[in-house]
Each structure stands twice: as C-alpha cells, then as structure tokens.
Structure 1
C-alpha cells in the first residue's frame, strides 16, 4: 500500500511521543512492502531539536507552510491507497479537506491522544484537529486508546468505524544495553513534564526518593520547571533522543511509568514508554489503570503502585524478584507489543473496510 500521513512530527522526539511510534511503525510497514509518506510542518521547537533527518522505508516531507506543499500533498493523496490525518496535526483542517476528498484512498484519522481529545470536548473550544463534523467523514478512525474510548469516538464524534492501534516498540532500537557511566539508580523515570502527571510523579518518585536518601533516582525529560521539587538524590537528564533510551533504562534497577490523568481515567491506553523500557530488559513499575492487565500481567510482568507505600515496597524487592519481572516483561513485549505486530493490526484495520458494516470481519 501507499500510505500518506499528515501528522504532528516525526523528525523530532522532543516532547513528542508520536515520533518514536511513527518511526517504528513506518519501518515495520516498509518491511512488509508498504511505503509511507509523512507530511510534517517545520515548527521551530522541533526544528531546533531534530533527531531524524531521513526515513528509511518511507519519505519524510518537512514543509514551511501549507500553501507551499498543497499541490504535492494533493498529488500524493491522489496516488495513495490510505490517506490519514492524525491528532495534533498543525494543518489538520486543510489536510482533512484533502483526505476526505481522496478519489480512491481509504480515508483514516488516527487519534494518538483520544482521552485528551474527548476531555477537550467539554471545554469552550474543540481541538483544532476536530472539524465541525467530528470524524464522520472518515472511513475509519484508529485510536491509541481502546475500551470505552472506542464507543465515545462513535457516539460523540460520529466515527463510522473504529479500531484500536496501540503503542508499540521497535526492538531494533530499544534493546538491552550497557548503562551509562555512573552507579545504577534504584528507580528511573523518563517523560516530558506534564502538570496532570505531577501529583502521581511526586507520590511514586519524588517522595520515595526523599524517604530513601541513600539511594539514587534519575529523571529524564524535557520542559521541567525550575520549581520542580528536586531532592539531593534525584539526578536529572534533559531530553534524551530515542537512541539514548536503552542506556538510560539500563542504568535503572526499575523504571516508573506515570500515565496522563485523562488517559488513566479512561484506561486501555498503554504508554509507548512501557513497551520501550520492557524491551530494554528493565523491570516496570506503573501507576494502575483499567485495562493494564490486557497488556501485562500485574505482579509477574509488571509491578503496579498507586501509593508511596506500594512504590517503596516495589523498590525493596530482592534483586532476583526484580530480574524475574524484567525478564517476563521483555518476553511479553517481544511477543505482543512490537512495531511489527502493530503493522499487522494496521493492515487488518484497513482490510476491514472491505467488509460491510455489521458483518464479521
């Protein structure tokens, strides 16, 4: 298939979880003979932190403004088998008009931020990537979030068909590595600062660090404010590109996942970080949310903590117990949550369009 995508950004992973997911999926689709053209507007904050300049197995089109690329985009859509707009695409209204008028392509929307999208509908303005007709003009809406989110996309935004397309990991990029120089941390956390994650991050990371002053904790990510409640034993790594993630995870005895509030409330929304860390052979500690057990078995493939006390109990497990969690989590990811598996899911979702609504597919 020829797939055309109008998305947020693939060239920079700075504060942008979409990038790593798309890179893995494009490579996996290319291995299966498909070709992806990804259109990305050249935004200053991504341009200044660009960590991808070429797209093996696909084509990355970085453009300064819509007018400069409109003709090229129109030609690409005319030749496509699948044309797609994603959440947070800077030119979503223009891209939507082009995609829904596609002469032959399957018309898709991929919401990588479904709980955020649905929560925003309660506010005074719709997200800019949601038009007046919602998602009613697309043939299929893919969602990073499953469960009740799929019904909400139909009921509240008019999606005709929906299917989950969850996070994933490319094990060629995220795999066991030698840790960076320095001692191993008791707990690491990698993620962009988000105010709605802060209460859980303090409860599960900052306070345990304060209560275990003799142990090392490491936090990595972008956009952390000056008034973040650092402790002397929390070490900070500013934004790390994907190639540096394996060494970061390797330097932790276990790593913490904290879910955005809207996503945790809706559930069935695994962070790509979970899969990345597990593929690197690091034990997972996560906040709890509905549907987590669809992706990992709590207690054997992942540790779950919602209180400081339960986080401390996880940190105090024996080395052997932590190693068993890490090994089981990695095995689960390599079996069920790779980019290659999601490429198959993508193919199946597109193929389902050939089956009339109401019939088994």
Structure 2
C-alpha cells in the first residue's frame, strides 16, 4: 500500500508521560478524514508498551519497530509516500532522520513539538534527536512555535521552509460536560523541573494561603518528596479519555509553560486548547504571543503571582467565570481544532511539493 503520509513519532499508542500522543492523535485523525492514508511508525519502548491507551487506532496504520535495523523493513513505505514526517524526541532521531532523508522521494518534514527545547539543545550541541546539519535537508520544518522563531530557523539554521503548525484539539473529545465542579483550580501536566516554580507560585502557594479552596494536580513523574498541601489532590495520570471530565471538574484550569517556551514565546500548550474547547476558564502564566491566540481578560486570564490567582478564585462572580469559558471555547472552535491543523498541514505539504517540482524542472 502507498501512503499519503508516513509519520515517525515518539508515540501514538501511549499518552503516558508525554503530550506527543494526543497531538498526533488529533492531527492524524483529522487528516484521515480528508481521505488521506497514514502510516505511523513508533519505536517499541517498554514504558509505553506498559501504558498503551490506543493500541489500534482506526484512523491510521500503526506499526512498531524494535531497532534501526528493524525500521529498514519500512523503507519501501517511506520511499513511496507523498510525504514523510519525523517528529522531535524520536529515539535515535539522528539516524532515523538520515534514513528518511536518504530514502524518501516525496516531501520530507521535521515536526518539532518541542521547538524551543530543540533549539536550546542544538546551541549546546546536546540535542539527541536532531543536528543542525540535518535541518536544511528537510523540505519543511513544522514548528510548535511561531513568531520570530520561524525566521530564526531559516536564517540561522538554514531551514528551507519554517512554518508554524501549532498543537490543536479534537472538539469531539473535548467539549463541555454537565459536571459540578469538584475543585476550584486544576492543573494537568507531567512534572518538569523548569515548570515547577510556576506550579509552586500559581497553585501550591495559593493552596496554602487559602485552605477554604480545593485544588487538583494531575500528572506523572512528580518527585516523591513533594509535599502536597492537604487541600491539593494529586492524580498520577489522567488518560486522554478523561481529560474533558478533569477540566469540567474544575472551576478554573491552570496553564503553565516551560522556561524555553516562555523565552521563545508563541508556544501554546495543547492544554490551552483542550481546556478552552471544554469551556473551562483558563488561568495562564504570561508569555509573548499568548494574546495572538486568546484575548486577555475576555477569553483567558493572566496570572503573574499568587495574589493574582487568589483574587480570581475568591472574587470572580459565576456569570463572569462562565462567560470567559464560553468565549474561550468559541475562539478555539474558530481557529484551533485538529481540522484547522490538518488543513494547514496539507497546504504546507502541497506548497513544498509544488516548489520542489518547480526546482526540479
């Protein structure tokens, strides 16, 4: 079988400890609805194998490979595809990228779900899944980060075509639910050392200061020595199928951004769009470009310190809270669904193929 798109990504089968799986699921499901045939190639890893929540997707073919040698059996599919996309954090990513660039005859793309982290590690010479010399080899560099970073990718790193392809949400999976709030503020996110100070400032400190309020943190890999306040419930993992219920169970949801992404700006987390689609009002840390996605005050709330969070939780009236959530949902449905991203992806691939054909001629 020939494929319209072959993807080599970190994981599609397991959302445990990573946000890549939900991103790929939403994007590829929407892309398949346009009649596209998709093959996803995933490196077999024991930690994902033990936590699979989508072992057999119905929108694409999912195949596992055990090693680089095993990957070569998929060489014909890679060579014959209309487009081949390599994602960030793929194990043995350097070798995988070289293999793809050596075999693919269609459009090649690098899909960077971690652009600021990638560029920071490239500058230190410590990126395990991409090297600067490989970037000009791809027809497309699709980035989770927009804004000035795109120009930097082309000017400094030699990317042929750097284009933003933000994360998105599947509105069928993320929608308002008729659930009474169980906590005042919830946060959904895997532990990250550079996000922890913000979690301390914008959730744990408010929890200690307001024992009359309730909080929830859902995410894996938090150190065992973290002392959770008595009014903070910690859940080790919430599978994607229960994300909407988690958002609905909070009066507000908290969005936190990793340090490299704050510095780069224009790096929305998928949690923004998920919570927004569920109609849950979002309290976010500030970063450049956020205002291009949501209008502050009317569609999203910005918190810089503990007092900002406490003021919102204690003083905002219920009609205003619901109105902010509804406006945020309207914004997401208008511009940030998986269908929007699938259309963008198709346009980028078509443009790269057209330009490539013109150069060959």
Distance 1:339 1:82 in 2: 19
- TM-score, with structure 2 as normaliser: 0.94
Aligned to 1:60: 62
Aligned partners of 1:257 and 1:5: how far apart in 2?
28
Matched, 1:273 2:271: yes
**Aligned residues of 1:37 and 1:61 also touching (Cα < 8 A):** yes
Distance 1:76 1:251 in 2: 44
**After the TM superposition, which segments of 4 or more aligned residues of structure 1 sit over 6 Å from their partners?**
none
CA distance in 1, matches of 2:103, 2:65: 21
Q: Which residue of 2 aligns with 1:228?
A: 226
- Give the equivalent residue in structure 1 for 2:25: 23
In structure 1, the residue matched to 2:145 is 145
Deviation at 1:172, TM superposition (A): 1.1
SS at match of 2:218: strand
1:355 Cα shift?
Answer: 5.2
Match runs of 1:5-16 below 5 Å: 5-16=7-18
Partner of 1:328: 327
| Number of equivalenced pairs | 354
Which runs of 5 or more residues in structure 1 are unaligned?
Answer: none
In the TM superposition, what are the counterparts of 1:28-39 in structure 2 within 5 Å?
28-39=30-41
Q: Find the counterpart in structure 2 of residue 213 from structure 1.
A: 211
Deviation at 1:82, TM superposition (A): 0.2
Superposed displacement of residue 102, structure 1: 3.5
Deviation per CA, 1:260-290: give whole Å up to 9, x if none: 0100111001000010011112111100100
Structure 1 residue 126: deviation in Å? 3.0
Aligned Cα root-mean-square deviation (Å) = 1.7
Question: Any idea what SS the aligned residue of 1:57 has?
Answer: coil
Structure-1 separation of matches of 2:354 and 2:167? 25
Q: Counterpart of 2:100? A: 99
* Aligned equivalents of 1:345, 1:217: Cα separation in 2: 37
Other-structure match for 1:237: 235
The 5-angstrom pairing of residues 292-331 of structure 1 reads 292-316=290-314, 317-331=316-330
User: Deviations for 1:224-276, whole angstroms, at most 9, x for unmatched residues?
Assistant: 11222311100111111100111111110010000001001110010000100
Structure 1 stretch displaced more, 135-144 or 87-96:
87-96
Post-superposition offset of 1:13: 0.6
* Matched ranges for 1:164-203 at <5 A: 164-179=164-179, 184-203=182-201
Q: Secondary structure at the match of 2:177?
A: coil
* Structure 2 CA distance for partners of 1:215 and 1:344, relative to 1, 3 Å: same
- Stretches of structure 2 lacking an aligned partner (at least 5 in a row): none
How far apart are 1:103 and its partner, in Å?
Answer: 5.1
